[in-house]
Amino acid sequence: MKNLLLFSSLFLICAESSFAQGEAALPFLLISPAAISNGMGETSVALYRDNPFAMLSNPAHLGMFSRSNYFSAGYDYADWLPQFGQSDLTVKAFGFNAGVNLGRQFGISPEMSVGLSYSRVRLNLGKFSVTSPDGPEVIATFDALETADNYSMGFGLHEWVCISAGFTVKQINSTLAPFNPQTQELMGPTRVSTYDVGILVQVPIIEILDRTREAPITFLAGYSPLLNLSVGLAKNNLSDKMVFYIDPDRSDPLPRTARVGVGVELGVSYTRDDLNWNPILFSWSRESNDLLVRRFPPPVDAGGVPIGDPPPPEYRGGLGDIKVFDDLILGKSNPDVIVKTGWQLTLYDLFSIRGGRFLESPDQGNRRFSTSGYTVRFGGFVRILRVLNVSLGTENLLGTIVNHIDLRYTHSKLDADEYLSPVNTTEFSSWNLLIFP
């Protein structure tokens, strides 16, 4: 049990230590709950992912998902900011995707796909006590929490290259107190809606060469090289609305964010009849993010003394301070943006290991940490058995399940450069279920 003063202090510390100096309201929208991307330095905009939480960074993942999958569901969990030692400070997310490949189902050319997704992210800030103004007697308790309900739609077009676009509508609720702590008429909770847009382009280099040569590039029976290049762009929280809890004259902007990334997949693929298998796959991605919010200092007199309130904050357009070529291709340091880098090695579709790096300028919040993680996949066992010609027919329920369902467990961890950083030693765990043709 904690009093309201402690809660207010904790919230301010979390916001300013973990997110770009409190430049915007609702900083929990910048939390990445996805254990897979968190293991890769939080890179998530340019490398295609089939779990529901990839849509939180770039809804265009959904168009890629619907090309080769019917359904996925996931649950992610983390004890948030473990350095504070608050056991009831948690981040939880659950969601699902559903998609259909219209080209395969109805013979449409070029191949098109469409998908829908829903997810909810919930930041639990704990249970708090309300005490009597006459003494320490507890007269009530309440749970402080923030939630975002995300509704996404994505479309994919697949002809030589894969192009996907997506759109997400968000309904956000922030209940820091069920009452107004200043005893005014306005209440503490706030509700706001916003939206995300994104695009993802994947260029399958080897597949294009195969079609150009009219013959597959192979080095063993059924085995061929794999090389995919990708680029992703997303803009999140694009509403022009301002957020306030008590006083509309003291509102703050949403955390509008631009994300740009590039990705590479390199490996070996195996194809036989209806079996597509990647016994070795290495992925790498780099991403740059910028918070598109501009704040201004208050006016000052001739002696430099503030003489009034600062002008209201403004939203920025475009990509902000992101320098695409310098940030992503040359990998140069950019103090005005967040730069993320991640890698992943998957063996036999059975086990993945990953790592990454997240770098933020001291002027922007100074979050700097390394990441690591792994995934274990049930589907990898099935593919190995099929490659070994073990019969797994679909004439019964068990055969159908093992041939069309994959269950995965993922774990990731953040290790901050500064031992006392609030995000240091944060761990994420997730379960994902995937159903495919």
At 168 the pLDDT is 98
- Separation of first and last alpha carbons in the chain: 50
**What is the 3 state secondary structure string of 358-404?**
EECCCCCCCCEEEEEEEEEEHHHHHHHHHHCCCCCCCCCHHHHHHHH
Pick the CATH number of 4-435 from 2.40.160, 2.60.40, 1.10.3470, 1.25.10: 2.40.160
At 186 the pLDDT is 46
At 90 the pLDDT is 93
At 71 the pLDDT is 95
pTM summary value: 0.88
Please give the single-letter amino acid code of residue 403. Answer: N
The answer, yes or no, to whether the previous bond of 110 is cis (omega within 30 of 0) is: yes
At 254 the pLDDT is 93
Which residue has tokens 């608050």?
86
At 188 the pLDDT is 59
| CB distance 393 to 368 below 8 Å | no
Number of C-beta neighbours around residue 160 at 10 A: 12
Parallel/antiparallel/unpaired status of strands 293-294 and 368-377: unpaired
Question: d(Cα 178, Cα 406) in Å, to the nearest integer?
Answer: 42
Q: What is the DSSP string of 120-138?
A: EEEEEEEEEEEE-TTSS-E
At 130 the pLDDT is 76
Please give the single-letter amino acid code of residue 57. Answer: S
Please give the helix or strand (H or E) that residue 16 lies within, else none.
helix 4-18
At 180 the pLDDT is 54
At 13 the pLDDT is 37
At 356 the pLDDT is 97
At 395 the pLDDT is 56
Number of C-beta neighbours around residue 38 at 10 A: 32
The tens place of each residue's pLDDT in the chain, 437 residues long, gives 344 433 443 443 343 334 444 578 899 999 999 999 999 999 999 999 999 999 999 999 999 999 989 999 999 999 998 988 888 899 999 999 999 999 888 888 889 999 999 999 999 988 877 777 777 888 877 788 899 999 999 999 999 999 999 999 999 998 877 655 555 444 556 889 999 999 999 999 999 999 898 888 888 888 899 999 999 999 999 998 888 776 677 788 999 999 999 999 999 998 877 677 889 999 999 999 999 998 888 888 888 888 878 888 899 999 999 999 898 988 887 888 999 999 999 999 899 999 999 998 877 778 899 999 999 998 887 777 777 776 666 555 666 676 788 999 999 999 999 888 888 999 999 999 999 88
Encoding tokens for residue 346? 């998957």
